[in-house]
Amino acid sequence: MNHDNYVIDDMITAKAIAARVESMATEITEHFKGTEKLIVIGLLRGSFMFIADLVRELDLPVEVDFLETSSYGDSMESSREVRILKDLRGEIKNRDILVVEDIVDTGHTLSHVLQLLKSRQPSRMMVCALLNKPSRREVDVKADLVGFEIEDKFVVGYGIDYAQRNRNLPFIGAVRFIDD
């Protein structure tokens, strides 16, 4: 796929994503079996497609809430300064929560979010990430459940953007810049 100054190379197909989401949902359902209600917390904006597909596959009573954070802006590099742009609406104290992240990269955002959520004393917490980029990790944090391990490439699609573009792609692709 061509854009003004970059090309998107296919990395993970829509079919592979759907199959992995289904298997992850099975693991999450088993982990939280017997819960009164699972609060699924999506980290906006990149996780919105993933969370929508994931909750449809969960065989549990769920409530969905969102946190919006920012550490990238329109850049390809994390500023390492995590800001909370939108907080949760509901209370999570003594509740079971599933944190859903699109990609764990440097780890700064996830680490910050987990500290915030732990301070609110949930009963049980699990972290689920669609993508994991361990080669970029700067903070010792990891997801309990990962969809795909990827190499150090800037990716878009399936909710993940570059400068607010390409979220609508049904697959994950790697951005490759074209030299002028």
Per-residue model confidence as pLDDT tens digits over 114-134 = 999 999 999 999 999 999 999
> Token pair for residue 25?
């949902």
pLDDT, average across residues 19-43: 97
The answer to whether residue 172 is domain-embedded is no
Per-residue model confidence as pLDDT tens digits over 33-84 = 999 999 999 998 889 999 999 999 999 999 999 999 876 544 455 556 778 8
The answer to whether residue 169 is domain-embedded is no
Count structural domains, the chain. 1
The answer to whether residue 5 is domain-embedded is no
The answer to whether residue 100 is domain-embedded is yes
* Parent domain of 77: 14-150
The answer to whether residue 175 is domain-embedded is no
Q: Tell which residue, 68, 64, 112, has the closest CA to residue 87.
A: 68
CATH code, 60:
3.40.50.2020
What confidence category does residue 5 fall into, taking pLDDT thresholds of 50, 70 and 90? confident
At 83 the pLDDT is 80
Whether 105 is a known active-site residue: answer yes
What confidence category does residue 180 fall into, taking pLDDT thresholds of 50, 70 and 90? very low
The answer to whether residue 3 is domain-embedded is no
Among 105, 140, 161, 179, which one carries the catalytic annotation?
A: 105
Tell me the C-alpha distance between 157 and 170, whole Å.
6
